Structure 1
Amino acid sequence: MVVGALLGENISIIGFQKYFLIFHFFFFFFFFFFFFFFFLMNSLIKLENLY
């Protein structure tokens, strides 16, 4: 991820910068969605064990 940001900064072509920006956005979104889904499932399992 850091390598992608460094490459995006080093390469002066706007297309590459846009590609790396979109890649970072999708990576963050996927990571956040996976973390949120894992947290939600964990809380649901805890609720099921409670009752």
Structure 2
Amino acid sequence: MAALTAIRTCERFKTFYTALAARSGSKKLAIIAVARKLLVILNAIMRDKTAFA
């Protein structure tokens, strides 16, 4: 659910999603890739104790 919201609201994730969905042909795969990217970014934020930019 967080990945779907990120795709709708954040331009960074939206462009990544559309490019991947067009390249792979699978929207489900693109959503999972966005979720993984979001998780990696959130872990880095927690590690560095910084705000999302």
Give the TM-score normalised by structure 2.
0.50
Structure 1: which 5+ residue stretches go unaligned? Answer: 38-51
| Structure ranking higher in helix proportion | 1
Instruction: List structure 1 runs of 4+ shifted beyond 3 angstroms.
Output: none
Give the TM-score normalised by structure 1.
0.52
Percent identity over the alignment is: 0
Q: 2:41 aligns with which of 24, 28, 33?
A: 28
Larger Rg: 1
Higher relative contact order (CA 8 A, sep 6+): 2
Q: How large is the Cα RMSD of the aligned pairs?
A: 2.0
Structure 2: which 5+ residue stretches go unaligned? Answer: 1-15
Matches within 5 A, 1:5-44: 9=20, 10-36=23-49
CA deviation after TM superposition for structure 1 residue 12, in Å = 1.3
Residue-pair matches, total: 31
